Amino acid sequence: MAEYQAQARQENFRFSSLAQVMAAASAERSGDQLAGIAADSALQRVAARRVLMDLPLTTFLNEALVPYEDDEVTRLIIDNHDAAAFAPLSAMTVGDLRDWLLSPETDAAALARVAPGLTPEMIAAVSKLMRNQDLIRVGRKPEIVTAFRNTIGQRGTLSTRLQPNHPADDPRGIAVSILDGLLHGAGDAVIGINPASDNLANCRDLLIVLDDLRQRFDIPTQNCVLTHVTNSLELLERGAPVDLIFQSIAGTQAANEGFGVTLSMLAEAQAAGLAARRGSIGQDVMYFETGQGSALSADAHHGVDQQTLEVRAQAVARAFRPLLVNTVVGFIGPEYLFDGKQIIRAGLEDHFCGKLLGLPMGVDVCYTNHSEADQDDMDSLATLLVDAGVSFLITVPGADDVMLGYQSLAFDDLAYLREVSGRKPAPEFENWLDRMGLARGMGARALPDAGDLARRLGLPA
């Protein structure tokens, strides 16, 4: 294994492995500190970034951060690498790649051509050399479009997951939240419920409620009950109306095993979703969720920094042509992202890296109540992400998820974001909002119609 060294302010620094360089080059992160792999000082961080700057991209094809023979995620990355797509970049260093990405001549088409040739480790490395503004400038370049019952990710659009969670999975409480979201123009990415109970019968009941609502009002969106992939498989076998197959994933085989999932299991689920053919304009059936720190929390990080492992999780998602991918950026807690500054940086990193991999990247702009963060931090991150071209965001009633007990974005925040950015919902969903007389992200304009819609939902007007 190679040793790496660099000098910063006349001080020499040595790094015993590529993994150590990557960890030391990362922005300050409480999770890496918890793992004992973070830079000891800002000076060491600068030295590690100097090493990365001059490192040939081919290094990442020759030195695996997680051993090939021990890890099926590493095997997926190496075995699926597209050498022809990588060829135009093969003589570059990580620093050269940064310059190329920031060049005005490097556009969406150029990024799409090279995406299959970029490994997650290459992308994680270049992100560590970038300021926040660089992450935004490059992140907004790709246009990643996916489709099921509508099209997600077209330039100039901002979609949302409408998250109507309820602590008792009460259908009427869920319907009230859906009504609130629809009045604000939310729900075009997906109407997705985290069930309070993973019981199969309960998940099936929730799917039927969602599908009945969609069909009654001919809503051009997709539904999802965010249960384990094995439950979705069984529900499909029983004829339940499963639109999207959801799974949380991580960047190592051991961490995915902690989630109870393997790559072969995901492939089986994708095949079952495709066989159901429930999409009307597309068949992108998978929905993945990631989050920095998941591998460390499972003691499955192999000494690799959490941001690099996050991008490896995104590479798992890429292999299954998903409709949606989102990072739950502040959800895991302050042990991994301590405060608002760390959450903001991580959110921009996750979006940038996912977009370079070719993913329809969304973000749950969120934090737990014991983090050193507040809603002002979330306003800042959400605004920056919209500037960076994020495909979708997650919205919940009042920004407070009463079932999961964390803080996210409110439906009102969506109205603000669309107003200041000029972005619109997915085009099919926007047309539906017009037909229904509902607001397009401007909640107050819809209020005269709220009573009628509530009555049709079976709720008190």
Q: How far is CA 383 from the centre of its chain?
A: 16
Residue 446 has pLDDT above 70, yes or no: no
| Cα separation, 214 vs 212, whole angstroms | 5
- The 10s digit of each residue's pLDDT in 244-299 is 999 999 999 999 999 999 999 999 999 999 999 999 999 999 999 999 999 999 99
pTM: 0.94
CA 139 to chain centre: 13
Contact 224, 287 (CB under 8 A): yes
pLDDT at 442 over 60: no
Q: And the tokens for 279?
A: 């999409």
| Cα–Cα dist 211/33, whole Å | 45
Q: Compute how many other C-beta atoms are within 10 angstroms of the C-beta atom of residue 68.
A: 12
**Residues 392, 159: contact at Cβ < 8 Å?**
yes
**Has residue 444 got a pLDDT over 80?**
no
**Which of 242, 305, 246 is closest to 278 using CA atoms?**
242
- Whether the CB-CB separation of 152 and 392 falls below 8 Å is answered with yes
- With the C-alpha atoms ordered 323, 246, 404, 346, is the resulting torsion angle positive or negative? negative
The strand pairing partners of 8, in sequence order, are: 11
Residue 6: what pLDDT?
Answer: 84
Give the C-alpha distances (Å, rounded to integers) separating 53 from 49, 50, 56: 6, 5, 9
Residue-wise pLDDT tens digits, 167-212 = 999 999 999 999 999 999 999 999 999 999 999 999 999 999 999 9
The answer to whether residues 61 and 119 touch, using CB atoms and an 8 Å cutoff, is yes
The pLDDT of residue 422 is: 96
Number of helices and strands (H, E) in the chain?
A: 22, 15
User: Would you say the C-alpha torsion 222, 227, 230, 233 has a positive or negative sign?
Assistant: negative
Distance CA 388, CA 321 (A): 22
400-401 and 406-407 beta bridge pairing: antiparallel
Check if the beta carbon of residue 136 is closer than 8 Å to that of residue 388. Answer: yes
d(CA 6, CA 51): 6
Mean pLDDT of 160-168: 97
- Under DSSP, the state recorded for 421 is H
pLDDT at residue 62 tops 60 = yes
Using CA atoms, how far apart are residues 138 and 124, in angstroms rounded to an integer? 14
Cβ–Cβ under 8 Å, residues 377 and 384 = no
